[in-house]
Structure 1
Amino acid sequence: MGEPDGRRRRGQDNRARIVKAMLELVQAGDVAPVAEVVAARADVGLRTVFRHFKDMDSLYGEMSAAVDTEVRALVERPYTTDKWRDQLSELVDRRAVLFEKIAPFRQASERLRGRSAFIAGEQVRMAMILRDILRQIIPMDMGTENFEALDMILSYEVWARLRREQKLSVDDAKVVIRRVILGITG
């Protein structure tokens, strides 16, 4: 009677180790780890990995939940000021930390987006969360065009371009973003 529960627990433990291994590999820069590498990192058999890899979207879901927990702590922290312009400046710092933290996962998800409805949905969900956070800061009379411009300049895509393609340091990328924000907000 206890054997099925033991097998289920072992299966859950193996799955957790696979998810942890995938997170570690992606964080280390392997944006699409192969099953053999995941198996070695998780210390499970290759067949075990393949059994769990059949349902990739649920694995992505578990990976996303683990990343979300860390991200939530960054974005839900109260601001140190009540002035919207200062909050906007603080938001630049927060997004810099957030985007640096999630960069390997975003790069991996970009490669897999076409193969996973879950990943595509997660990217839309994250964009909506970031838009809502921005909406809570800026004055209601800011105007749609200004809001959209701020949302764009504060996006992961702009951050990634500044960091990867333009090879700016974190501090230099923040300076560029703040300069554009100043042009939008006056």
Structure 2
Amino acid sequence: MIDSADVTPLDGRVARSRRTRAAIVEALVGLLEAGNPQPTVEEIAARAGVAPRTVFQHYADREALFAAVSAHREAHLQELMGAIDPGAPLARRIEEIAAQRARIYEWIAAVRRGALLMEPFSPSVHASLEAFRAAKREELARVFAAELAARADAGERAALAAALGAVASWSAWDALRAQQGLDVEAASAALRLTLTGLLADRAS
């Protein structure tokens, strides 16, 4: 039989470890959102209020830390996706997709830029980004299934699906926001206009 005096210290250590891990993840996110796309371990530790060695005690390397950030944010990403009815009028679906992408991309912007810098060197970051890209393409295929099905030729359907994926991607959004300097409203308007141009004559 385990004495309660043995259980309590163990539970306390587990709780402290969880708090420390969470603080480290939040520190990395905070630094990314503050405009530092590649914070050092020392910067992360200082913001989390721990020693640099503590970071490595909880996360073996930067890849493991970025993987923890991805897991930490996954649940909220699903909330931001929302639920779009594929049977709604086309104009409404286009409006809702544009709003969805604006919500998601503005929320992930800072972390996404940091992840993109790590992607060529990190299998787990690459896998996480690829999974998210695939999920966004699948969402477009679901929401605009009627317009895609209206294309009798398989090659045309594939081309339309690829075009939708490109114009509603993070890369396109970042080009509108960062490169062209558009605000969220103007970038959303550009996305709606492009989607309408691709889809308006495909309505069933």
- Per the normalisation by structure 2, the TM-score is 0.82
Say whether 1:159 aligns with 2:173: yes
Say whether 1:96 aligns with 2:102: yes
Q: Of the candidates 70, 83, 91, which is equivalent to residue 89 of structure 2?
A: 83
Superposition RMSD in Å: 2.1
Say whether 1:179 aligns with 2:193: yes
Aligned residues: 186
- In structure 2, the residue matched to 1:70 is 76
For 2:54 and 2:90, the matched residues in 1 are separated by: 51
Does the aligned pair in 2 maintain the 1:84–1:137 contact within 8 Å? no
- Per the normalisation by structure 1, the TM-score is 0.89
- In structure 1, the residue matched to 2:53 is 47
Say whether 1:141 aligns with 2:150: yes
Does the aligned pair in 2 maintain the 1:35–1:49 contact within 8 Å? yes
Q: Cα 1:83–1:152, aligned 2, differ >3 Å: closer, same or farther?
A: same
Which one is further off, 101-110 or 56-65? 56-65
Which one is further off, 78-87 or 99-108? 78-87
Does the aligned pair in 1 maintain the 2:32–2:114 contact within 8 Å? yes
Does the aligned pair in 1 maintain the 2:85–2:143 contact within 8 Å? no
For 2:26 and 2:33, the matched residues in 1 are separated by: 10
Structure 2 residues not aligned, in runs of 5+: 1-5, 152-156
For 2:100 and 2:15, the matched residues in 1 are separated by: 38
Structure 1 residue 11: deviation in Å? 3.0
- In structure 1, the residue matched to 2:41 is 35
